[in-house]
Amino acid sequence: MQYINLGQSGLKVSRLCLGCMSYGDPARLPQPWSLNAEASRPFFRAALESGINFFDTANIYSGGSSEEFTGRALNDMARRDEIVVATKAFFPWKNSPNAGFLSRKALLQSINDSLSRLGMEYVDLYQIHRFDHETPVEETMEALHDIVKAGKARYIGASSMEAWRFAKMQHVAERNGWTRFISMQPQYNLLYREEEREMLPLCTDQGVGVIPWSPMARGRLTRDWSESSNRTQNDTFARQMYLNAEEQDRKVVEVVARIAENHGVPRAHVALAWLLAKPAVTAPIIGATKLTHLATAIDALDFSLSDEEIAALETPYVPHPVDGVVPPLSDEPLTITPPRR
């Protein structure tokens, strides 16, 4: 396994991060395809045995049960000082005022709840799952700083938002002597490259690690366009995310298939090799509901693409509508959809 510093911090993480959204109680929304506690444990064992030390979950995944399963498995299988555990907060965990978003009250409650479910005294990386348009940036950044100083998180990170908002949050933290984000978790893959416009250059310039979610575009990069899976049939977000440029996306998938066939490797090797060739990318967050998914992703670390192959993969791409960013709230009653990652 390869290891790399996360941004300009001293925190070393494996080149792949195991995303734990697929592990949780399938009866608890919004992930009906998730694997229960018993079925998920072999994935943590296999990841650890391969050298993966980086695990990402969130308080909203499967109603909090993803954190529970992740914590139980890792506490049983690994030394706490040898693993890097990341979780996230933002989306409401119940239909009640202050139960969600990024106010001081919500964040202090969220971190305590997450630590309780994980069965841990701290998380290594505490991330805001989206940008909160209703809470002053100063309030959010000071609360995150206090969480770090209280020893409940070692570092902080952020996820999908506009680049200028991320820059503003970093500036507010620096201006006040508070903890700055060391990582950004955006959607980034061969079918969604809008982050190349502003977010990735910003992260590179500021020394922020990038840990992309959905590196396989919800599986679309790993199979023929006409094929589906249990997840795609039940994941409403997957059906919505890649409809705006379907014909052009299909061309990208065809190039992935051709290059994979030429090399005699799974298509996932091609999709991951393209991501890992990007200097801004630290560790893609891989999802796995079959042990072969995990093994394939790990094997992809030894595969690389030529400059000509990278150009062929990128040529068919067309601009896509911005996706994964929570828009400013209107005057209508608040409604927040569950997270995509």
Strands 84-89 vs 209-210: parallel, antiparallel or unpaired: unpaired
What pLDDT score does 246 carry?
Answer: 84
Q: Is the pLDDT of residue 336 over 70?
A: no
Model confidence over 122-134: pLDDT tens digits? Answer: 999 999 999 999 9
Q: What is the mean pLDDT of the chain?
A: 93
Is 95 exposed, middle or buried (CB count within 10 Å of its CB: 0-12, 13-18, 19+)? exposed
User: Above pLDDT 70, what percent of the chain?
Assistant: 90
Strands in 160-314 per DSSP E: 181-185, 209-210, 285-286
User: Does residue 91 contact residue 55 with C-beta atoms inside 8 Å?
Assistant: no
Could you give the CA distance from residue 221 to residue 227 in angstroms, rounded to a whole number?
11
Question: What pTM, to 2 d.p., does this model score?
Answer: 0.92
Count helices and strands (H / E) in the chain. 12, 10
- Helix then strand then coil, in percent of the chain rounded to 5, is 45, 15, 45
What pLDDT score does 263 carry?
Answer: 98
Residue 227 binned pLDDT confidence (cut-offs 50, 70, 90):
confident
User: Does residue 305 contact residue 248 with C-beta atoms inside 8 Å?
Assistant: no
| Residue found under tokens 């510093």 | 5
Q: Which range in 17-26, 30-39, 232-241 is most confidently predicted, on average pLDDT? A: 17-26
Model confidence over 240-295: pLDDT tens digits? Answer: 666 666 888 999 999 999 999 999 999 999 999 999 999 999 999 999 999 999 99
What pLDDT score does 248 carry?
Answer: 87
Q: Is the pLDDT of residue 13 over 80?
A: yes
Residue 168 binned pLDDT confidence (cut-offs 50, 70, 90):
very high
What DSSP assignment string belongs to 73-139? Answer: HHHHHS-GGG-EEEEEE-S-SSSSTTSSSSSHHHHHHHHHHHHHHHT-S-EEEEEESS--TTS-HHH
Q: Assign a CATH topology to domain 3-219+280-289.
A: TIM Barrel (3.20.20)
Q: Is the pLDDT of residue 335 over 60?
A: no
Q: Is the pLDDT of residue 9 over 80?
A: yes
Which residue out of 61, 155, 188, 192 is catalytically annotated?
61
Model confidence over 81-108: pLDDT tens digits? Answer: 999 999 999 999 999 999 999 999 999 9
Start-to-end C-alpha separation, the chain: 24
User: Worst-scoring range by mean pLDDT, 31-40, 235-244, 249-258?
Assistant: 235-244
User: Worst-scoring range by mean pLDDT, 30-34, 195-199, 218-222, 267-271?
Assistant: 30-34
What pLDDT score does 258 carry?
Answer: 98
H/E segment holding residue 141: helix 137-149
Does the active-site annotation cover 188? no
Residue 28 binned pLDDT confidence (cut-offs 50, 70, 90):
confident
